[in-house]
Amino acid sequence: MAAYGWTPGLDELFAPHRAAGLVPGRITRVDRGRCDVVVADPARPSGAGTAGPGPDGGGPSGAASPLPGLRTLRADTGPVGHPDPVRCPCTGDWAAVDPEAVPLPAVRALLPRSTAVVRSSASRRSEGQVLAANVDTVLIAVSLAAEPDLGRVERFLALAWESGAQPLVVLTKADLAADAGHIRDDVEAVAPGATVLAVSAATGEGMDVLAACLGGTTALVGQSGAGKSTLANALAGAEVMAVRHVRDSDGKGRHTTTTRELLPLPGGGVLIDTPGLRGVGLLGGAEGLGHAFSDVEELAAQCRFDDCAHRTEPGCAVAAALEDGTLPVRRWESYRKLQRENAWIEARGDARLAAERRRQWKIVQKSVRDAGVTRRR
């Protein structure tokens, strides 16, 4: 399992589960109530492929594993289901698996996550959606077929930093850009602390440098039409993901990848390809926002007053930087917008938690009343 990221530290965490007769595995794909999970299989040293159909008639849904000594099981995730979507099984999770469970193998527990890429869900509830778990690098794909939206790049960077992983911005379709170098400079200016690469999967430009930058587990994120599936195929060295062309009318893509899927890379490490994101909402992303806008926060720390609102206060370093052009107005407005959005999401989350506490308290009170009635009888 080392090829999928298994470490001595994980082995130590897994000890109680091993004592219970369970085996370690990594979730490579999640469907409703089911998942594909890679486990060790010393009996099959050739690593030729997935296990056959399970007792319920369905085998693993993913592609066969090319790695020796491994097999893919189709497993039930019901035992580790949870009302909070963030705590449900996700691609990249390490799992304790019961391969002998009937009618099909079952995930009995999840190991603690080292990192997780979490965005706010599209629903009206203040919930999160985990895009990938236990990630070392978040590869943000940005298409050069059109002028990149720097505000959206900043959102992705805040999302990546908040996960605890290292962001890597990859400008795809460099062969279609007339001035890829100039655009790369613009993106680097809004990506402090992150590497920015320009590549073309079609011509191979920059792909060797990108492959050398990847190791461990990489989560591939970006908008539909950013060329993620093409990039995944180039990195995997095989046609593992379907590819669709973007619309000629507006240059936007359609969802090719519909589920998060973990793929082994020939040079080592694994890649988690995710569906295209039309919206990138942050969920409690104060730390990620601070990393993504570290230049702005460094300026704010130089203001004369600790509680400076950066408007008309004397000695405001931010106002001075805006006036002399050191800090672009667009970047400042993007920072303030994400701050307001994050504060709103956190407030909604606090309100939801308070409502849940009230609901639980009412249940407790009802139980006490019912117990009192029973005793009087």
The rounded average pLDDT for each run of 10 residues, N- to C-terminus, in the chain (377 residues) is 93 96 95 92 55 43 62 94 91 96 95 92 65 96 92 94 95 89 93 95 93 94 88 84 51 54 90 80 78 94 92 93 95 93 73 60 70 59
**What is the per-residue pLDDT for 312?**
87
**What is the per-residue pLDDT for 53?**
40
**What is the per-residue pLDDT for 193?**
94
What distance in Å separates the CA atoms of residue 377 and residue 358, rounded to the nearest whole number? 29
**What is the per-residue pLDDT for 242?**
59
Q: Which residues contact 37 (CB under 8 A, 6 or more apart)?
A: 25, 26, 27, 28, 72, 73, 75, 95, 97, 105, 107
- Record the pTM: 0.82
Q: Where are the alpha helices (DSSP H) in 173-311?
A: 180-189, 207-213, 228-236, 286-292, 294-300
Backbone angles phi, psi at 119, to 5 degrees: -115, 160
What distance in Å separates the CA atoms of residue 40 and residue 4, rounded to the nearest whole number? 11
Q: Which residue has the tokens 């097999």?
A: 71
**What is the per-residue pLDDT for 342?**
82
- Tell me whether strands 166-172 and 195-198 are parallel, antiparallel or unpaired: parallel
Which of 223, 254, 250, 255 is closest to 153 using CA atoms? 223
Q: Which residue has the tokens 């304790």?
A: 96
**What is the per-residue pLDDT for 80?**
94
**What is the per-residue pLDDT for 206?**
93
What distance in Å separates the CA atoms of residue 210 and residue 28, rounded to the nearest whole number? 23
What distance in Å separates the CA atoms of residue 6 and residue 321, rounded to the nearest whole number? 47
**What is the per-residue pLDDT for 284?**
63
**What is the per-residue pLDDT for 253?**
46
What distance in Å separates the CA atoms of residue 153 and residue 158, rounded to the nearest whole number? 9
